[in-house]
Amino acid sequence: MRKIFLVLVAFFIQVALMAGSEKSVEQLEKELADLKAENLALREHTAYQYETPERPEGQKSVLGFKVEPIKNIRCAFIGCGARGGMFLRVLSNFPEHVTIKAAADLYQEKLDAIDRELKAKDYPYEVDYTTDPNGWKGICERDDIDLIFAATPPSLHLPIAIYAMDHGKHVAVEVPIITNVEEAWQLVNAAERNQRHCIMLENCMYGDYELAIKNMVDLGLFGQTVHAEAGYLHNLEEYRFDYSDPKNWRSESPTKVPKISGNSYPTHGLGPIAHWLGINRGDRMKTIVSAETADFTMRHAVNMLMGPKNPIPEGHFRPDQNLSIITTEKGRTIMLYYSTVLRQPYSRAYRLNGTRGFAEDHSQHKLSKDTCQRRLAFEPNFHVDLPVDKVNALLEKYRHPIYAKFSAEAEKFGGHGGMDAVMLMRLIYCLNNGLPLDIDVYDSVAWSCVSNASLKSVQLGGMPVEIPDFTRGAWKDFDGVKYYYVDENGETRAY
Amino acid sequence: MNPIKNLFMLFVMGATAFAGDILLNPRAQVDFGAAAEIEVTQDGLLAPTGSGLVRSVQHTLVDTKKRYRVSVEYKKSDAVAESRVRGTVVLSPYNMKCKMIEGVHVSFIEGSEAEVLEISPSRGKRVVLRLTDAWKKELESERKVRRAVTFLVKRDLSDIPNFYWSVIDGYEIDGDRLILKVNWTPALVPGDLVRLHYYGWQGIGKDVYATDEWQTLSFEVTGESKRACSDKFWAGTQAVGLGIGGKGVLFRNLTFEELD
């Protein structure tokens, strides 16, 4: 009897609870609407957005832009240090395609060295030199120059590029071409406003490996590309601790507060994989999330090299590593590594996943092929690494026609394993033949702005940051990145 | 339109009407995989460059009761000095789990089921069997084949295709005991049955002998067979791919079509 009573009590309590929790359709609909509103409000705060300015009236896109052939390109070099000086020296060997008109640098001894070398080889043209810190403006204002190379410290890249384009010059600028998104829009507008070429001199685009993989991507050997990784993993201790050279702008001192770096040097790795994935020509980078470590290794290195009693180790150094993940408009992903601190061999840490195959490269350009840590695997045996000889044979078989065409120059002039020479030859070839350049202003700013966008994401605790569409929608009109050439019949074709 | 062109068009239309649905037609490097040992010229010539078969990446499901046809044209490469070169054209069969059914899985000596006498640990390298006439006859024959032993077999052949197999590296006969030296075994218990298999088939297909002239190979496949053969799908076949081999042989118009 007592049991029956308890069961009945439990039943009535449950019925009462159910009645209390029952919601009308109206209530449920209201809750759903509230949830949706809350979700929308949340979404506004789940990604940092840069302002995207409207294209100013009268400006037009320079995606696929080309000019009439310039049979002999009149060039000026602003900044003649390790990079600019190398460009000038290589191009001085092709007087039939390039005329060196002017060279500027803050240090007379660098210009003197160039002058001596040019005279020694009977360089046929007269070159004007200047060490005036503002001399670059006068060079930009000249009317006998077609192309200006800017290889200065990064803070001067933007002012030189804009001033040069506003004075009708094409510009070729060292990496990174800009340091933030606002500068990026200024540069895009300058190129569009003046209808001038603006190329960032990203030499890693022209490595034998990078071009071979691009060729294989273009031939469909990887199928649909899905994911790519790259990095700049370059321990720079030997630069950082060389305080004997005051002109070495890479030296840096510790700070009193912890440093945040973001990925401050993204383009060497990002450039090649962006072209593999057709970024800005068929897809675009949409968002980035970024995170980084504290400064373990530098602190350790400074301690080891300077001793614990030195005040310098008490400061803060740059983080050991920054990791960034980019998602693209079409749902692909990019992983970027950045470290100039971690103690490991140099690597650009490439990885490519496609629906039909896989590639990975951790080798450095100075190593011989036998020691390369390169991996390839393709369907149907995608779960098995190809043997080293097969990997090398395939990379040779699919060597990009661009690298094959300029391999002699790569061998002769070198520069990071030849890629510098190929980059310069390719730039001159395109301008000589009136072709679109391989790298345009949209590539240049999109790759460079990752430094600022990744920093922003780190500052916001890993919040997604939207990467602006610098093409303002024109990326949708293309299907992959093409490299143009002129065939034996004089027809323009594309790889 | 001139009358010859008209006649040609009629012929093409007629031929098309009798042709089946083409299910496979590999004609590019990627159709075999980027690393496959084959050169594909711009005009669609397929030239295997290695010693083994290259197989199409694409498979197609088949109904083994239906009729299908493999067709290909072939000739020898101009670079080859010999008057003729051997090539191979096959259908590669795959089971329900996309596992390739290889020749050794379905090439067996009839009645060679034999009893395991001694327990062999898993991954062991020694199997002791009761010697049977079928084994004795085959081992003593001078056939130049690589022999294999399959494990966990059934007398009614329902284990075919049998994927539990191992190459026979050597053997000893001790009275009525046969001691096999093998690379691998599953865990066995006395009384388990094994069977004698052998290599010899690279797929459901044929060898061709290429000369300077283009020739055509065309063969039909229908029905199912427990034993490797060239006109039936091997037991367990759910899907097939195409394979070709022969360094120095050029192939073109390689197709697999459904006739029914």
Q: Which domains does chain A have, with CATH numbers?
A: 73-201 (3.40.50.720), 205-494 (3.30.360.10)
Q: How many Å apart are CA A146 and CA A133, to the nearest integer?
A: 21
Distance from CA of B35 to the nearest CA of A (A): 6
Contact between residue B149 and residue B168 where contact means Cβ atoms under 8 Å apart? yes
Is pLDDT of B173 > 70?
yes
Window from A216-220, B67-71, B121-125 with minimum mean pLDDT: B121-125
Identify whether B8 is part of a domain.
Answer: no
CB nearest to B55's CB, from A221, A223, A380:
A380
Residue range A39-58: mean pLDDT, rounded: 82
Q: Which residues of A touch B34 (CB under 8 A)?
A: 216, 221-222, 356-357, 376, 378, 394
Residue range B124-149: mean pLDDT, rounded: 93
Domain count, chain B: 2
B:8-37 residues touching chain A, CB 8 A cutoff: 28-30, 33-36
B147 by DSSP, 3-state: which? strand
* Gap between the terminal Cα atoms of chain B: 35
Are B82 and B108 part of one and the same domain? no
Asked if B98 reaches chain A (Cβ–Cβ under 8 Å), the answer is no
Other Cβ atoms closer than 10 A to A18: 9
Q: What is the DSSP code string of A242-281?
A: -TT-TT-TT----BSS-----SSS-HHHHHHHHHHHTBTT
A459 by DSSP, 3-state: which? helix
Distance from CA of B240 to the nearest CA of A (A): 14
Are B51 and B98 part of one and the same domain? yes
Are B95 and B108 part of one and the same domain? no
Are B91 and B107 part of one and the same domain? no
A217 by DSSP, 3-state: which? helix
Identify whether B9 is part of a domain.
Answer: no
Q: What is the DSSP code string of B158-176?
A: TT-S---EEEEEEEEEETT
Contact between residue A78 and residue A136 where contact means Cβ atoms under 8 Å apart? yes
Are B115 and B179 part of one and the same domain? yes
Is pLDDT of B213 > 60?
yes
Identify whether B74 is part of a domain.
Answer: yes
Is pLDDT of B161 > 60?
yes
Positive or negative: CA dihedral B32, B35, B36, B42 = positive
**A472, amino acid identity:** R
Tell which residue, A445, A400, A396, A443, has the closest CA to residue A422. A400
Q: How many Å apart are CA B168 and CA B242, to the nearest integer?
A: 29
Give the structural domain span for B112.
103-198
φ and ψ at residue B130, rounded to 5 degrees: -80, 120
Identify whether B1 is part of a domain.
Answer: no
pTM of the model: 0.83
Is pLDDT of B14 > 50?
no
**B139: domain CATH number?**
2.40.10
Structure tokens at A287: 């968002």
Quick check: A216 and B33 CB within 8 A? no
Are B132 and B162 part of one and the same domain? yes
Q: What digits encode the pLDDT tens for the residues A393-404?
A: 999 999 999 999
Are B63 and B185 part of one and the same domain? no
Q: How many Å apart are CA A74 and CA A97, to the nearest integer?
A: 9
Position A17 scores a pLDDT of: 47
